[in-house]
């Protein structure tokens, strides 16, 4: 017994010692789990999440993401993303297979659809923590970077969605981590695999690989990585570039050609405004300038000071730590260069493909990986400026997480419209609905409320109505968020492929049932009048087609229109209590109406 008590006591002491040593990492992990998993499956999927879930379901049936699953045709882009066999090609497949794996393990549900992406968000935080701790030799750098991520509502929204955003962020951080350890063929193979996976989350995320390519040629401390990097570039090229050719039609359909150099410039500016609106780009830049000024002006005491006595000429361990904190190592400079070149490269690529209005709506989702990179860079600079003084770095963390002063919004709040004009061109920042939200990060408080309360929108309410009133096999027609409505009800959907759709002829050749192309046999209509005509069909046309078939159309209920179900962009996200914290790009929205269709002889 005494021996057993001694062993038990020793084990507890070791555990306690480990916890004291690694408490920052453990604390970050616990908070991340709470923020990312709490209430994860309560709110309904929105349009893009529904796309992920439905294509993941089709993978379980066919092995590949097919738009026709035997019941409903799925593609909110009117078939522009599918090939002639109705297989998805214009959106990379990694997200679909990740969600399919979760469905295989846990069954098809909202929680299962989001779980792997939330876990990707968790590992983004943890990998980011370890990356900065390893680069700087200071746990505070990792801790500060991780806290900035965990208190970024935009990061949390991306990570809690069943879409590729969290995978992009995870693989970007992992790729950077591998790059700094690129010293063997084994790590080169791992680097290539991570880069290929990153590309197949979204092609534009591979800009970070281009940043590595530039820096291995231009930044001397990275010259030693040049051979292994370019060795890894061969398989990266082989497994990525052919996809552009394979999916070129879909990518062309989802891009907007440039109208000139002025258009290109304002696109780049709009992208940078989007970056500065959800990340501490402004605050991080200020920190870097302050740190560089401090490094030049301050002379460390006790190092080379002839008046301190002969013994003081020998630097102590404390002197060494102070010197490290007061300067940037080549690794730290390299990381800041990676972040900078990635932002510039992303701005250029986005500027070539997306118009200004589109950029305001999509935000950073195509280049989500820049978010953790900027957060980690800001965390490193906070730790550097803090120089081990808790009061300093804790105050800076509070400033960066609880207020908006590190973002661009407070500094342009004098422009109430948010529009900045440059001749015939203009850009726009997102305008908060209250003065307080210009200065304080109120979305964070609302997000915490979302972790406790349900927040159903129009699509969710329509799905609940159909589950209570529709029968199995009833055909539904809707004009927006059709994918999540199908996922949550599993009712077949009609009028999904118009005669003007790019996929129309291919779908006809696949012998899809007539209801996929027309209003035939529709029993329920969920018409989102706020989106009337958005996909080329208006309500009067649908109603007239039904009446021409002798149908009686009866309005059953009206539903408040919320625009989107669970948008990933913080500026358009609806928080609990039907609260939007930024002025929307649309005004008052007409209510959605649900109709029942009856036919002679029913």
Give dist(CA 602, CA 598) in Å, integer.
7
Domain count, the chain: 2
Mean pLDDT of 579-595: 82
* Inside any domain, residue 26: no
Segment among 121-130, 325-334, 554-563, 592-601 with least mean pLDDT:
325-334
Among residues 394, 412, 440, the one where a domain terminates is 440
Share of the chain above pLDDT 90, in %: 71
Domain span including residue 520: 458-598
**pLDDT tens for residues 73-88?**
988 777 778 888 999 9
Segment among 13-17, 437-441, 573-577 with least mean pLDDT:
13-17
* Residue 173 confidence class, pLDDT cut points 50, 70, 90: very high
Q: Are residues 329 and 435 in the same domain?
A: yes
Segment among 15-19, 191-195, 451-455 with least mean pLDDT:
15-19
Q: Write out the DSSP string of 191-252.
A: HHHHHHHHHTT-GGGGHHHHHHHHHHHH-GGGGGGHHHHHHHHHHHHHTTHHHHHHTHHHHH
Among residues 410, 440, 470, the one where a domain terminates is 440
Mean pLDDT of 363-391: 95
Phi, psi of 162 (to 5 degrees): -80, 70
What is the per-residue pLDDT for 564?
Answer: 83
Give the CA radius of gyration of the chain. 27
Q: Are residues 432 and 464 in the same domain?
A: no
Q: Are residues 273 and 410 in the same domain?
A: yes
Task: Single out the residue of 190, 160, 156, 163 nearest to residue 92, CA to CA.
Answer: 163
Q: Are residues 395 and 515 in the same domain?
A: no
Mean pLDDT of 307-331: 59
Mean pLDDT of 432-446: 85
Give dist(CA 365, CA 155) in Å, integer.
10
Is residue 300 over pLDDT 50? no
* Residue 308 confidence class, pLDDT cut points 50, 70, 90: very low
Segment among 274-288, 340-354, 584-598 with least mean pLDDT:
584-598
Evaluate whether 362 touches 425 at the Cβ level (below 8 Å).
no
Q: Are residues 367 and 257 in the same domain?
A: yes
* Inside any domain, residue 65: no
What is the per-residue pLDDT for 396?
Answer: 96
What is the per-residue pLDDT for 563?
Answer: 85
* Inside any domain, residue 274: yes
Structure-model confidence comparison of residues 487 and 435, the more confident one: 487
Q: Are residues 509 and 433 in the same domain?
A: no
Cβ-based neighbour number of residue 94 at 10 Å: 19
Q: Write out the DSSP string of 136-173.
A: HS-HHHHHHHHHHHHT-HHHHHHHTSSSTHHHHHHHHH
Q: How far is CA 42 from the centre of its chain?
A: 19
Structure-model confidence comparison of residues 309 and 125, the more confident one: 125
Give dist(CA 586, CA 563) in Å, integer.
9
* Inside any domain, residue 55: no
Is residue 198 over pLDDT 70? yes
What is the per-residue pLDDT for 3?
Answer: 60
Evaluate whether 409 touches 418 at the Cβ level (below 8 Å).
no
Q: How would you class 482 by CB atoms within 10 Å of its CB: exposed for 0-12, middle for 13-18, buried for 19 or more?
A: buried
Q: Are residues 272 and 218 in the same domain?
A: yes
Instruction: Locate 593 and state its tokens.
Output: 């109406």
Is residue 29 over pLDDT 50? yes
What is the per-residue pLDDT for 311?
Answer: 44
Share of the chain above pLDDT 70, in %: 91
Give dist(CA 353, CA 170) in Å, integer.
24
Give dist(CA 88, CA 79) in Å, integer.
9
Give dist(CA 213, CA 182) in Å, integer.
13
Is residue 298 over pLDDT 80? no
* Inside any domain, residue 70: no
Is residue 470 over pLDDT 90? yes
Q: How far is CA 497 from the centre of its chain?
A: 29
What is the per-residue pLDDT for 416?
Answer: 86
Tally the residues of the chain. Answer: 602
* Inside any domain, residue 473: yes
Q: What is the chain's mean pLDDT, rounded? A: 89
Q: Are residues 483 and 376 in the same domain?
A: no
Q: Are residues 431 and 571 in the same domain?
A: no
What is the per-residue pLDDT for 437?
Answer: 84
* Inside any domain, residue 93: no
Evaluate whether 581 touches 437 at the Cβ level (below 8 Å).
yes
What is the per-residue pLDDT for 243?
Answer: 84
Give dist(CA 169, CA 154) in Å, integer.
12
Task: Single out the residue of 131, 146, 110, 139 nearest to residue 33, CA to CA.
Answer: 146
Q: Are residues 169 and 292 in the same domain?
A: yes
* Residue 304 confidence class, pLDDT cut points 50, 70, 90: very low
Is residue 10 over pLDDT 60? no
């Amino acid at each position: 017994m005494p021996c057993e008590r001694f062993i038990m006591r020793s084990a507890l002491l070791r555990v306690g010692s480990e916890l004291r040593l690694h408490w920052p990492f453990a604390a970050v992990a616990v908070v991340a789990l709470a923020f990312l998993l709490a209430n994860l499956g309560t709110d309904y999927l929105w349009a893009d999440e529904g796309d992920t879930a439905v294509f993941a379901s089709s993978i379980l049936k066919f092995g590949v993401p097919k738009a026709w699953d035997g019941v409903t045709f799925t593609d909110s882009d009117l078939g522009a993303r599918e090939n002639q066999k109705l297989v998805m090609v214009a959106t990379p497949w990694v997200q679909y297979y990740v969600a399919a794996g979760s469905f295989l393990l846990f069954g098809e549900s909202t929680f299962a659809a989001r779980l792997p992406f939330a876990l990707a968000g968790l590992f983004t935080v943890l990998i980011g923590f370890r990356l900065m701790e390893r680069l700087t030799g200071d746990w505070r750098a990792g801790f500060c970077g991780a806290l900035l991520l965990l208190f970024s509502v935009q990061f949390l929204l991306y990570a809690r969605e069943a879409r590729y955003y969290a995978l992009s962020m995870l693989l970007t951080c992992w790729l950077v981590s591998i790059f700094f350890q690129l010293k063997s063929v084994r790590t080169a193979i791992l680097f290539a695999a991570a880069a290929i996976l990153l590309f197949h989350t979204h092609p534009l995320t591979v800009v970070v690989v281009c940043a590595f390519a530039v820096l291995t040629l231009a930044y001397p401390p990275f010259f030693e990585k040049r051979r292994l990097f370019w060795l890894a570039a061969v398989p990266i090229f082989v497994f990525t570039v052919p996809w552009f050719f394979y999916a070129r039609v879909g990518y062309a359909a989802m891009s907007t050609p440039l109208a000139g150099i002025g258009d290109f410039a304002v696109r780049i500016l709009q992208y940078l405004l989007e970056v500065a609106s959800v990340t501490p780009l402004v605050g991080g830049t200020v920190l870097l300038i302050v740190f560089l000024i401090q490094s030049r002006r301050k002379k460390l005491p006790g190092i080379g000071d002839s008046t301190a006595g002969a013994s003081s000429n020998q630097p102590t361990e404390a002197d060494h730590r102070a010197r490290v904190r007061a300067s940037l190592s080549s690794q730290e400079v390299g990381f800041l260069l990676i972040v900078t070149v990635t932002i510039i490269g992303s701005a250029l690529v986005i500027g070539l493909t997306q118009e200004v209005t589109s950029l305001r709506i999509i935000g950073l989702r195509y280049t989500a990986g820049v978010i953790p990179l900027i957060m980690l860079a800001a965390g490193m600079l906070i730790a550097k400026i803090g120089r081990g003084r808790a009061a300093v770095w804790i105050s800076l963390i509070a400033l960066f997480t609880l207020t908006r002063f590190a973002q661009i919004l407070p500094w342009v709040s004098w422009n109430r419209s948010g529009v900045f004009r440059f001749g015939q061109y203009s850009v726009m920042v997102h305008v908060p609905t209250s003065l307080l939200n210009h200065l304080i990060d109120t979305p964070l408080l609302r997000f915490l409320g979302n972790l406790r309360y349900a927040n159903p929108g129009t699509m969710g309410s329509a799905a609940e109505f159909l589950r209570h009133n529709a029968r199995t096999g009833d055909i539904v027609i809707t004009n927006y968020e059709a994918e999540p409505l199908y996922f949550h009800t599993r009712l077949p959907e009609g009028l999904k492929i118009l005669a003007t759709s790019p996929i129309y002829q291919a779908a006809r050749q696949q012998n899809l049932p007539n209801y996929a192309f027309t209003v035939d046999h529709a029993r329920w209509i969920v018409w989102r009048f706020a989106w009337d005509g958005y996909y080329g069909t208006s309500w009067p046309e649908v109603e007239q087609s039904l009446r021409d078939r002798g149908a009686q159309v009866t309005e059953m209920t009206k539903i408040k229109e919320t625009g989107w179900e669970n948008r990933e962009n913080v500026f358009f996200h609806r928080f609990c209590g039907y609260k939007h914290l930024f002025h929307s790009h649309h005004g008052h929205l007409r209510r959605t109406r649900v109709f029942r269709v009856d036919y002679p002889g029913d």
